[in-house]
Amino acid sequence: MPSPVLLSASGLHLCHRTRSTPLSRPRVTTALDGVALSLAEGERLGVVGESGSGKSTLVRVLLALERPDAGQVRFGPEQRPVRAGSARSTRWFRSQVQFVPQDPAGSFNPRLRVGESIAEPLACLGIGGDHRARVGEVLEAVGLQACMAERHPHEFSGGQRQRLAVARALAPGPRVLIADEPVSALDVSSQARIIELLNRLSSEHGLGLLLVSHELGVVRRLCERVMVMRRGRVVEQGETARVLDHPVDPCTRRLVEAVPRLPALEEGENGPRTRPAGPGPRPADRAPVR
């Protein structure tokens, strides 16, 4: 039996209007053009695309931070409509859908202990219970110690701060996480830990995950499905391995071809040596310089 759809969107259209001067005619930029998606319980969906493709705008609309010109976002088994509005009118939705930012260092108040920051959404959303105990639970869920709640953000490494951001998002007990480039600023080992963490949370707790990333390797490791955007439109989507291994749309092919590749190794008289990956003559085949 398929898992129930938690978060869905249909026919999302949104245009941004800007003026270079107060008296100039507005310049209209299409940010979203008929975008539709669905995210089921426990599913992991990747959203990729070139800069300016509309990924960040889509995230803001899905989080009910910006209202589309047309289209609808819905949430829950009953697919209840979601509309951007006052904090009171969206409280029910924000307790169910939480956000993990790209830069956790900038999203934590440096004057507050991290335990206070993690407990903040519990107070804002009117969630009862023992907030201190809940902070300890989510810290341990992301692989940190409950006693770390007494520390300040600057006492943590970049990878640990990203875990803190995940802990804060988990505190209200959401059913969906939306993560915007959650590992782009981390080193490789920290990236691996965050990927493993998100994968475990999704598998063990049925969390739906919508991951926005420009790193296709991260999307391949974490997401079951991928959606490719270009100029506000979805140009290709499907099973991650199929889309990335056999891209059909030119935009997808460009993204795949842009992934850096390490030089290949070949054996030489003095042991392994490197040569450029991809087409081109091998070093031994090049014409001698005269």
* pLDDT, tens digit (0-9, with 9 covering 90-100), for 26-74: 888 899 999 999 999 999 999 999 988 999 999 999 999 999 999 999 9
pLDDT at 271: 53
Under 8 Å between Cβ of 55 and 212: yes
The alpha helices in 125-213, defined as continuous H runs, are 131-141, 158-170, 188-205
- Measured CA to CA, the distance from residue 224 to residue 198 in angstroms comes to 13
Q: How many helices (H) and strands (E) does the chain have?
A: 10, 12
Judge contact between 50 and 231, C-beta under 8 A.
no
Q: How far apart are CA 81 and CA 8, in angstroms?
A: 10
- Does the pLDDT value for residue 17 go beyond 90? no
Q: Is the pLDDT of residue 272 over 60?
A: no
Tokens of 114: 């991290």
- How far apart, in whole angstroms, are the C-alpha atoms of residue 206 and residue 200? 9
Q: Which tens digits make up the pLDDT trace of 181-195?
A: 888 778 888 888 888
CA distance 158 to 190: 8
Domain residues for the domain of 126 are 104-173
Q: What is the pLDDT of residues 248-262, one digit of tens each?
A: 999 999 999 988 765
Which ranges constitute the DSSP H helices of 27-172? 55-62, 91-94, 104-107, 114-124, 131-141, 158-170
In a domain, 147, yes or no: yes
Residue 185 domain-assigned? Answer: no
**Residues 46 and 211 sit within 8 Å (Cβ to Cβ):** yes
| Separation CA 138–CA 107 (nearest Å) | 18
Structural domains in the chain (count): 1
Q: Looking at residue 224, what is its pLDDT?
A: 94
User: Residue 162 and residue 101: Cα distance in Å, rounded?
Assistant: 9
**Taking residues 97-124, what's their average pLDDT?**
91
Residue 145 placed within a domain: yes
Measured in degrees and rounded to the nearest 5, phi and psi for residue 182 equal -70, -15
Tell whether 222 is covered by a domain: no
The pLDDT of residue 285 is above 70: no
Q: What 3-state class would DSSP assign to 77?
A: coil
pLDDT score recorded for residue 232? 94
Mean pLDDT of the chain: 87
Q: What is the DSSP letter of 266?
A: E
pLDDT at 5: 92
Q: Bigger pLDDT: 267 or 221? A: 221
The answer to the question of residue 127 being in a domain is: yes
Q: What angle do CA 127, 106, 156 make, to 5 degrees?
A: 85
- At residue 183, the pLDDT reads 83
- What is the three-class DSSP state of 104? helix
